[in-house]
Structures are given as structure tokens and as C-alpha cells.
Amino acid sequence: MASLTFRIGGELLVGRLGFGAMHLPTEPAADRESAVAVVRRAVELGVTLIDTAHLYGGGANEELLAEALFPYPAGLLITTKVGVARTGPGGDWRLDGRPSVLRDQVDQALRRLRVDRVELLQLHRIDPGTPLAEQLGTLRELQTEGKIGRIGLSEVTVDELDRARTMVDVVSVQNRYNLLDREHEPVLEACAAADIAFLPWRPVAHGTSGAREEIGAVARELGATPTQVALAWLLARSPVVLPIPGTARAEHLEENLAAARFRLTPAHLSRLDGLAEPG
């Protein structure tokens, strides 16, 4: 049976089924109160890895997590992402990996999360307009200064990951990946080979009617839901895979986290492995 825990960077022990905070509303007040309850319930149910980003409400999501969970329980890892910025007040979001922007967003994250150090800081995207060495060099400097503990990347190719690893120690990669969308399978394989945590975003996809029918059939055999089957498949795919499904509803949260109870047989895996859809 595959372990349901993983040590990110060989040190940070987390449960492999985490929580993505992107969908949590921060306003109006009633919705915010519900969001606070959901994330608190996630921790009550044993979640030890929560993913957020500066992009999510321009930091409002980070503030929500602090409101809900600070002081943080021992063993809880909140990871955030930087490198996407607005062009101005009310402007469009765009990739921005300039050193001054990365530094400012990290400082903002420290203040909003009410911490002295972000234990895992991920570059939300590589900004093609800024040399990669400058982006990663800034994060390395922040690491040396003690403001961040470990460095991760998001939406990278194998080549970009290889280049980045010549400059910094990369402990996590967050790419789009799920049962039906396996465009980044080579990246997952590279992460598995190097024992790098792979955090699939959009971990559940709906797909074609044929795929839905097959997933539904496996779900009925297990007494599970299709969503639980999709998450159980990710947990079985590789020991470095750490899904971070997100929701703003408590019932969906409990459904997602219950996926860890299901064990797919070799026959189930064989049927599901064949469902990957063309990119």
C-alpha cells in the first residue's frame, strides 16, 4: 500500500492529499465566514498541506487563511506562490518575475500569513520577459535571508525544471495533471526520479462521455464517487504526487478527503490508465 505521507525536500512531512484554497471566497461577509469554516474543517480532518497564491485575490486568500488558522497548528504547511502581478489598480494580471516584484510579494505574503518565513515558496509561472537566473537568483537570496525555506516551481517543462535545478534546489513542482489530462507526464516522471513533490492542480476533470462512464463504473464497484476515483488514481500514480483539490463547500471537502480510503485494484488501474485523452 502506498504511503499517504511525503517529505517535501526530504524534511517537510505532509499528508499527500492536501487542499487548494483558490476557490475560497473572501467576500461578502457571509461567504467569507463559510470559507473560514471550510478551511478549518480541512485541518480538523487532517489536512497538513494548503496551497494558496498572491494571484488569488491579490493576497486576500492568504489573509483569509491567516484569519481562519492563525496561530497555525504544528505540522501545517501553507505554501504560496508569487510571480503574477497586476499592471495597475484594477488592471490585468500578467507574469512578472522581476526581482523587485518577487521580493515585494514575498514580503506581502509574510505579513498576510503572519509568519516570519514561508516554508515552501513557489514561482507561479516562469516570466519569459525576465531571465530565469534573475528570478531564481532572487528566490535564492530570499532563502539565504531566511524569508523562505524551500523553492518550488509551477507549470514548467522538463527542460525548464532541469535548468532551474542547476541554479536552486527545487523541492516541488505544481503542474496541471489529472486522470484524463496527462500532458505533463514527462514532468511527473522527472519529479519521481528526483524525489520532487508533484502537486497536480485541476486534479479532477470531467472528460468525454465514454471516460465518464468508465470512471463511473469503477466508482460503483468501489462504492465511491467519480471524484474520489480520480483522486485515488492520482494517489496511486506515484508516491511523489500530492493532489490539492479545492472547494468552497464542506460536503465536497469531505468527499475529496475520503478518497484516501479507497484502494484501486490492478484491474481498476489498468482500466483507468487507458483513459488519458489527447492533448
Distance CA 177, CA 203 (A): 6
Q: Mapping DSSP to helix (H, G, I), strand (E, B) and coil, where does residue 252 land?
A: helix
Strand, helix or coil for residue 7? strand
Amino acid at 277: E
Q: Find out whether 137 and 164 touch, Cβ atoms under 8 Å.
A: no
Buried/exposed 121-155: b ≥16 CB within 10 Å, e otherwise: bbbbbbbeebebeebbebbbebbeeebbbbbbbbb
Neighbours of 255 (CB within 10 A): 17
Cell of 3: 504511503
What are the catalytic residues? 56
